[in-house]
Structures are given as structure tokens and as C-alpha cells.
Amino acid sequence: MSSTAGSGPTVVFESALSCPCTEWAWILRSLDGRVPYLAYDRPGNGWSSQHKPAVTSADLNLLTKRLLHELGLSGPYLLVGHSVGGLLARTFARNHAADLAGIVLVDSSHPDQLRRSTLQREGMPLVKQGISRMHLRSRYRLLPEANPDDFGAIADLPADLVEPSGRIMRRPEPWAAARREFALWNTEWAPQAASTLLPEALPIGVVTAGQQASMDLAHGRMQAELAELSTVSMHKVVPNAEHDGLVMNEDQARNVTSVIEWALERHANRVPTGP
């Protein structure tokens, strides 16, 4: 999903674990025609094939950069990352710093979250089990054809995207990719993000799902820390929002759009306009 229409930095969306790029649909429709953008599927996810999938964040960032070039989407780039996509947005800053306009982290993973959050650490086996179960059910065609609720917040996407998004999630490939990425995000991507030094005045917006933060105080504290990565930052906590609904629910997604607009404005204000 991409567009070259509009002006200003190209907004690049990095999706959450197991989510197709259509998760960004409400936000893309809000931005359409105003700024160029790209929302894509990492190898094996969504509609993307899985030929020699990348392992390191640097490899994935390079794939993203090549895709942007092929589509004629020039920098600078504003990276928007949801969940584990936030880690990849941060490493993009290290691997392509000269092309960066800012970062927006949407209920982003924190490099230390499994060490500091008991709730998340103890929940990891259940997440892994759930991904494996969905992979088996999709592989043996045990998922109902007409039940979008099987995939959570996908049912809240624009009506014309619910069915195709659900159909793609009934294939085993996205769940195989999710299993692979689940094994990589904490061992590879998290430490690589933690070691990335960001420019002091880089615009960084953080959007936090209020329901997650209220249930897990450690998560809330780590979200606040993400906003401290820059001296130019904004942190918005969305009351009652869930992790996926923050992006896929129309009303909640407006909060993400507003923070993206804030980051674009801050970038415009810091770029010299000449004499």
C-alpha cells in the first residue's frame, strides 16, 4: 500500500507481529493525498512471499530502503512502528540516519520489556503457543471462512478490507513468518534497537494503548521512557485502547494520525529554509 502523492517526508509503516499491512488502513486513508507513504508486508507476512527472509534488523531495513527506491519514494522518511515494528523503526535510524525525519512508536516493544515486565515475560509462552496453534489450524484449513473475529481487531478495519485481510490470515504463511519473527524480535531486533543512538533533537512521537498501560505498570513506564529518547518528543496515552485496536479501530487510530502529523510538523520546523 503506497502513494507518491502529497509533499513532505515519506511516511513508512512497520507493522506488528503477524499483522498484514492493512492494519494501517484508517491512518493511510487519513493521510492519503497529503503525504507520500508506504505500508508494506515483511517477508512471509500478509501478501508478501518468504524467499530467503532477513534475520537482522539491518537486513530488514535495507529491504525497506530498496523497496522505497523501487517505488520512487524518496527521503527523508518518518518511520512509524507498531509493537515489534517500533524496534525496526529505531534501527532504521542507525542504518539510514541521513534519511530520517522522525519516528512514531505505536505501543512499541521496548528492548527491556521481557526483563522488566513480569506480566509480559510470563505471557510469552501463551503468545508462542497461540501463534503455533494458528499456524497448525491454518495449515490444515481448520479456520472458519466467515469469522473475522478469529483475528481480533482486524474486524474493525474498513469494511472493504475485513474480508481480504481475514482471508490472507487464513493462510499458513503469515503464521510461519510470525513464528520466525517471534524467535528474532527479542534475541536480534531488541538488542540492536537498544544499541541505536538517536539524534538528540529527532522528533519522536509515542502513542500508548491505555488499557495495556493500566494493566501493566511496567509497560506504562517503559512507554514513557521511549518518549525520553529525544528532547523533541510527544507522548499520548489513549484511554481504553487495546494494543491492536490502537491502530485498527477507526476512532483510536485518529490518535496515531495526530501524532504523525505532529512529527511531520516538527520536522518541517527544524529543517532550514534558507535565507
Domain spans in the chain, listed from the N-terminal domain onward: 2-270
CATH of domain 2-270: 3.40.50.1820
Instruction: Using CB atoms within 10 Å of the CB of residue 167, give its burial: 0 to 12 exposed, 13 to 18 middle, 19+ buried.
Output: exposed
Model pLDDT, residue 275 = 40
Per-residue pLDDT of the chain (275 residues), as tens digits, is 999 999 999 999 999 988 999 999 999 999 999 999 999 999 888 888 876 667 788 889 999 999 999 999 998 999 999 999 999 999 998 888 889 999 999 999 999 988 998 988 988 888 888 887 887 777 777 776 656 556 678 999 999 999 899 888 888 888 888 888 888 888 899 999 999 888 889 999 999 999 988 899 999 999 999 999 999 999 999 999 999 999 999 999 999 999 999 999 999 987 554 44
For residues 105 and 219, what is the distance between their CA atoms, to the nearest angstrom? Answer: 14
Say if residues 101 and 76 touch (Cβ distance below 8 Å): yes
Classify 13 as helix, strand or coil.
Answer: strand
Q: Which amino acid is at 138?
A: S
Model pLDDT, residue 274 = 40
Those residues whose C-beta lies under 8 Å from the C-beta of residue 99, and which sit 6 or more positions away, are 65, 75, 76, 77
Model pLDDT, residue 145 = 65
Q: Residue 21 corresponds to which cell in the numbers above? A: 499491512
Q: How many CB atoms lie within 10 A of CB 111?
A: 23
Backbone angles phi, psi at 198, to 5 degrees: -95, 150
Model pLDDT, residue 83 = 95
DSSP code at position 142: -
C-alpha distances out from residue 221 to 85, 113, 200, Å: 19, 10, 21
For residues 161 and 166, what is the distance between their CA atoms, to the nearest angstrom? Answer: 8
Q: What is the DSSP string of 57-85?
A: HHHHHHHHHHHHHHTT--S-EEEEEETTH
